[in-house]
Amino acid sequence: MKLLILASLVLLLGQGPITGNPKLTIARGDANIPPFEFIGDGGVTGIHIKMVNAVAKKIGYDIVWERTEWKRALIKVKAGSADGVTYVSKTKEREEYIIFLRKNILSQTKYHLFTIKEEKVPPKSKKGAFDHKSKNYWKKWFDYSKDKFTKPKRVEESTIGMEMDLNWDLSSLTGYPIAVIKGFSYGDKFDSTSFDEKIYAKTFFDLKNAVVSGRAKIGIVDKARFISSFKKEIFFSRVKFSDYPIHESENYIGFGKDEKLKEVIIKFSDEMDKFKMSREYLDILKEFGLD
């Protein structure tokens, strides 16, 4: 019995604060997206999380966070089992069941194409064994040692060939396998482009691995987040980005179209607008290195 009670308390503590305030259930994807939304030592945290928690508190609400697979997060809002969803961009399809207000923009993202340049090591000439009494022995030995212990110069070339330019129109790149996050929208132009093969990754890290391994020749990522996450990795020196973003999006907290939410949505969005002009908001950005 004691174990059952303890397990129930742990579950409740993991969902959000236990107070007498009314609750708003907010769904979010299960990907870790630092510095905006991720699982830290004390649970879910990040810029978006702290913004939403702070604004909700100011209007007398507590947030119950539901972490789930991204498509399911959208389904929950559409079905009314969650009041809202974070880190969501606006599309025509989503506008049918989610309310997007400019006051509720949490951050902005610039999506770039990227590929990995391949390292090629020139083959070394084969050196057979030779008799130390043979003519020019020491010269042969010196040449052999120099070849064996001197690191060969590496030649870099794009894994997708020199004929491909990431800055070309999307329609010219449709023949290359491209890695994307399952369920994400990268803008109407990209979403409506028919690629011969799309490799669907569950997480940001799976997407990176798909391109680094060569399964996909191109990927599409939030460039700032990619650099922040992988700039210290060995492979990063071989990353090539498109010069310009192929899509820029605002990341919202969007609410469902339940009539019962109408009043709280207005209160929340007005408070969020004021909050983004406050010292508290600047302190949150500073905490996560975006000041």
241 and 271, same domain (yes or no): no
Instruction: Indicate whether this model's pTM tops 0.95.
Output: no
Secondary structure of 3-62 as H, E, C letters: HHHHHHHHHHHHHCCCCCCCEEEEEEECCCECCCEEEECCEEECHHHHHHHHHHHHCCCE
> Comparing C-alpha atoms, which of 287, 271, 290, 284 is closest to residue 103?
271
Q: Is residue 99 part of a domain?
A: no
The CATH code of the domain that includes 280 is 3.40.190.10
Quickly count: other Cβ atoms within 10 Å of residue 257's Cβ: 16
Q: Is residue 27 part of a domain?
A: yes
193 and 265, same domain (yes or no): no
Q: Is residue 159 part of a domain?
A: yes
201 and 231, same domain (yes or no): yes
* Per-residue model confidence as pLDDT tens for the chain (291 residues): 544 444 444 444 445 555 689 999 999 998 888 889 999 888 999 999 999 999 999 999 999 999 999 999 999 999 999 999 999 999 899 999 999 999 999 999 999 999 998 766 555 555 444 455 555 655 555 555 555 454 444 433 444 444 457 777 888 899 999 999 988 888 888 999 999 999 999 888 999 999 999 999 999 999 988 988 898 999 999 999 999 999 999 999 999 999 999 999 999 999 999 999 999 999 999 998 876
233 and 115, same domain (yes or no): yes
What is the CB-side half-sphere exposure of residue 155 using CA atoms within 13 A?
5
166 and 192, same domain (yes or no): yes
Quickly count: other Cβ atoms within 10 Å of residue 56's Cβ: 24
116 and 228, same domain (yes or no): yes
218 and 266, same domain (yes or no): no
- How much is the pLDDT for 121? 53
115 and 217, same domain (yes or no): yes
Domain range spanning residue 213? 111-120+155-248
Helix (H, G, I), strand (E, B) or coil at 76: helix
The answer to whether the beta carbons of residues 242 and 114 sit under 8 Å apart is yes
Number of domains making up the chain: 2
> Comparing C-alpha atoms, which of 272, 277, 279 is closest to residue 55?
272
**Cα angle: 25, vertex 263, 260; to 5 degrees:** 60
